[in-house]
Amino acid sequence: MKRRPVSILLFVTLLSLSMAVHPILAKAQTADFLSFSSGMIVYSPLNMTYDSRYLFLNLTLYSAGQMGNIDPYISMNYSIDGEFNGSVPLAVSNPGLHVVTNAAAFMSLPKLSEGSHILTLYLLGHNQKSLDPKYLSYVDTVYFSVSAGASDVPPPGWVAPDVTPQDQQPQDLTPPRISVLSPTRNESFETSNITSLQISLNFTVNEEASHLSFSLDEQSNATIAGNYSFRGLPAGLHNVTVYALDSAGNVGASETVNFTITVIQEPEQESDSSFVLPLAASGLTVAAVGTAVVIYLKKRKR
């Protein structure tokens, strides 16, 4: 493979075509890059052989693929040959909510040994463009090598990064698993009083969560402390999804559960006429008897 000397990758400023001018940081001054479906573009390292043991990670992130914009939940981590783990600091060029958001990272990689290497990038973020799945994760891989007899002199600007030794517990990259116990899938609730109906949202999480929330009917997430109760929901079809964020920044989503609320009409109470008819009949009888007595007395007087 072709060998290239390692040089310091410079930042350049580009203008993104959106409603506002947003600079893109840390884009390398080279035509060589690796593009991934996550929206990540890696400029270093590339799929090639290097003649130095000291390399830089240089990448940009354009709207995080389908995520729509960089939000507080986004995180990026990396590993090299499964031995070195650490976070990738993302610098956002236009913080806040935008239709198009750009981020970039430029950092020193750990000192590398001679031979082949695998750089794995882990990206986790919030899906802003569609509602399901709510959170997206990507794993992108770069294959490269360091030649025999490669330079052991650090280039200007290289700083040894913090790494996780192999004998320590690796960074948690697994999102929490959430199981919704109630309502159950396609459960139906019937009520004659919609305002008094109460539906319990009960769920379990397989690990301690630093933040819990739910989305009802694909609306914005609402923060909760644990199990929750819905009150006053309108009749019709509903759905709910529960989210959990762990201490490592991983976000898990439950299965979306559909349920239905139906309003039933109470039967009208019929008036009880059982006492009316006997009374009416008794009245007729008394009237008839009274009439007969009057006629009898009149005849007797004559």
**In this predicted structure, what is the pLDDT of residue 164?**
55
**In this predicted structure, what is the pLDDT of residue 12?**
31
**In this predicted structure, what is the pLDDT of residue 16?**
32
Domains annotated on the chain, with CATH: 3-151 (2.60.40.650), 178-263 (2.60.40.10)
Q: Is the pLDDT of residue 110 over 60?
A: yes
Joined tokens for residue 147 = 């030649």
Higher confidence at residue 77 or residue 254?
A: 254
Joined tokens for residue 248 = 């490592």
Q: How many residues does the chain have?
A: 302
For 79, the 3-state DSSP assignment is strand
Give the best-scoring range by mean pLDDT among 90-99, 193-202, 271-280: 193-202
Q: Kindly report the average pLDDT of the chain as a whole number.
A: 75
- Return the number of other C-beta atoms located less than 10 Å from residue 146's C-beta: 22
Q: 75-80 and 56-62: which strand pairing?
A: unpaired
Q: Give the residue among 215, 220, 212 at the shortest CA–CA distance from 244.
A: 212
Q: Is the pLDDT of residue 55 over 90?
A: yes
Please list the alpha-helical segments (H only) found in 49-158. Answer: none
For 4, the 3-state DSSP assignment is strand
Q: Is the pLDDT of residue 13 over 60?
A: no
Confidence bin at 155 (pLDDT 50/70/90): very high
CB 256 within 8 A of CB 219: no
292 exposed, middle or buried (CB, 10 Å; 0-12, 13-18, 19+)? Answer: exposed
| 129 strand-pairing partners | none
CB 146 within 8 A of CB 112: yes
Residue with tokens 């950092």: 107
SS3 labels along 90-115: CEECCCCCCCCCEEEEEEECCCCCCE
Joined tokens for residue 236 = 């019709």
Q: What is the mean pLDDT of residues 133-153?
A: 84
Confidence bin at 20 (pLDDT 50/70/90): very low
65-105 confidence digits (pLDDT tens): 455 445 555 778 898 988 766 788 888 776 555 555 578 89
